[in-house]
Amino acid sequence: MKEKIIQFGTGNFLRGFFADFVQTLREKELFDGDIVIVQPTKGGKSKLINEADGNYNLYLRGVDKGEQVCTRREITCVSRCVDPYNNYDEYLALAKNPDLRFIVSNTTEAGIEFNKKCNFEDRPALSFPGKLTQLLYQRYLRHLPGFVILPCELISDNGKALKKCVLKYAAVWELGEDFSEWIENENTFCNTLVDRIVTGFPEDARELYKEIGREDKLLNTAEPYHLWVIEGDFENELPLKKAGLNVIWSDDVAPYKKMKVRILNGSHTSLVFPSLICGVETVKQSLDDEQLSAYLNRCLFDTILPLLEDKDEIKDFAAAVLERFANPYIKHRWQAISLNSVSKFKERVLPSIEDYILKNDALPKPLVFALSCLIYYYKNNPVQDNPDAVISIMTGDLEQILADSSLWGIDLSAMKNLVEKGITLIETEGVRKAIDWAMA
C-alpha cells in the first residue's frame, strides 16, 4: 500500500495506540495506507522494525465492560522505519511523496521544544520540531500540499506548541515569509488528548511466543481502553469513529482534558498516599482492598463527579477508570505514581476542592484527607519531588506548609483544622481509623 502517514516515534506508545487504530481501519477496509516511521532520536528501534518488515504483535489485556480480555493483534500497517541520523537524504525524500497526508508524533513531553543549538544545515536537527521544519521546507519547495499534524505528546495545547516551535525555526533560520505563510495556511496542527496505558514488552514474553509461533522482539502490550480527542474533523479522510474507535473530533480538547485530569489523575493522586501508608503497593491491590476501594468511590462519586457536567461520557469514563485500575495485567506501583506529588495535587485535586467549596460552602473531607496523607507521608518517608517542596514540608509546621503558596498556588490555611485532624488520627489511631473518619 502507499505510504500515507508519517509517524515520529518508534516507542511502545504509538505502536500500541495509533498503529493499532490504523490496523483497525485497514481491516475494516476504511483506509488503504501504510505508516512510515521516523526515528526521532538516536538509538531507537529502526533496525528492529526494518528487520521485521514493520510487523509485530500487540496484546490488548485487561478488563473491558466487566469481562477480562486478552486479544492478540497482528500489526502489519508499518512499511518501514527511516533513521535520519544514518540516512538523512532518505528522510528528506519523504517530502517528495504526494500521498503522505498525516503526521503523528509522540516524542515525550520534552520533545516539543525550541532548541537554539539546532541549525538548518544539521543532518538532522537535534529537536523534533527542528526535524519537522526541515521536512516541511522540502515539501514547500516542491509546491506540494501540507499535512494534518497530530501530536500525541502529553502537554497542553500540543498542536499549538508544535506549530509555534516550527514557525520560530522558520524565522530564526531565515527560510522566508512565504514559507511561514505556507506553514500557517497549508498545514493543520491539531491539539489532541490521548489516553491508553501501553505497557510495552511483557515479562511473560516466552509464553506469548508459544501462541505467536515465533520470537517477536517488537512484541508490545497495552490495555483495551483507549481515548483520542482531536481538535478538528478529518473523519472523511481518517474514519476512526466509523471504525468503532473511541475517537472524538472536537472544537475544543480542554473539557476532555479536565475530565481526564479530574477523574483519572485526580483519583490516582487522592488514593496514592492512603494506600502507601496502609502498606499497599499497587493500584490493583488498592482496588482489591475493601476499605481503600470504598474511599476511592467516595472521592470519585461523592466529590469529584458531581462537580463536572452531568454527561453520559463522563460517567462512562469514570466507570472505565475503575476497570482500568483493576487491570490484573498491569502492576502499577504507587511508589512510581507518587513522584512529584505536590505539583500533581495542585493540578489534579486542588481544583476539585476549590469547586466543591464554591458549590457547597464546605470542605470535601475525603479529598482534604488526601492532603493530610500527603503531608504525613512526606514528613515520615523519603520521597522524590522538587527539593524545595520536600524541604518546605519536612521542616515546616502545618500552618507554614498550608500557607505556602509556592507549593499549592494559593494559601490553604482555611483547611488547617481538617488537615490537622486527619494527620492526628493517623498518628494516634492509625491510618485505617483515619480513612473511616474521612468517609464518615
DSSP string, 35-48: EEEE--STT-SHHH
- In the structure, how many helices (H) and strands (E) does the chain have? 22, 12
3-state secondary structure of 185: helix
3-state secondary structure of 8: strand
Whole-number pLDDT of residue 44:
84
Quick one: residue 122, left, alpha or beta (phi over 0 = left, psi -120 to 50 = alpha)? beta
Alpha-carbon span 182 to 42, nearest angstrom: 30
- Indicate the angle between helix axes 365-380 and 431-439, nearest 10 degrees: 160
Which segments in the chain show pLDDT lower than 70? none
Alpha-carbon span 352 to 156, nearest angstrom: 19
**Which sign does the torsion angle of CA 42, 44, 47, 49 carry?**
negative
**Which sign does the torsion angle of CA 148, 154, 158, 161 carry?**
negative
User: Which contiguous run of DSSP H or E holds residue 82?
Assistant: strand 78-82
The DSSP code sequence of 333-384 is BHHHHTTTHHHHHHHHTHHHHHHHHHHHSS--HHHHHHHHHHHHHHHHS---
The CATH code that applies to domain 254-439 is 1.10.1040.10
What are the cell numbers at 300? 470519585
Whole-number pLDDT of residue 199:
94
pTM of the model as a whole: 0.92
- The CATH homologous superfamily for domain 2-250 is NAD(P)-binding Rossmann-like Domain (3.40.50.720)
Domain ranges of the chain: 2-250, 254-439
Alpha-carbon span 14 to 107, nearest angstrom: 10
Q: Which residues contact 155 (CB under 8 A, 6 or more apart)?
A: 109, 112, 161
Alpha-carbon span 40 to 137, nearest angstrom: 17
Q: CB count, 10 Å around CB of 121?
A: 8
Q: CB count, 10 Å around CB of 235?
A: 13
**Rounded (to 5) percent helix, strand, coil in the chain:** 50, 15, 35
Alpha-carbon span 71 to 152, nearest angstrom: 24
Q: Is the peptide bond before 255 cis (omega within 30 degrees of 0)?
A: no
What are the beta bridge partners of residue 222?
60, 198
Query: Look-up: residue for cell 533513521?
Result: 83
Q: Which residues contact 332 (CB under 8 A, 6 or more apart)?
A: 197, 282, 283, 284, 325
CA end-to-end span of the chain: 61
Whole-number pLDDT of residue 417:
98
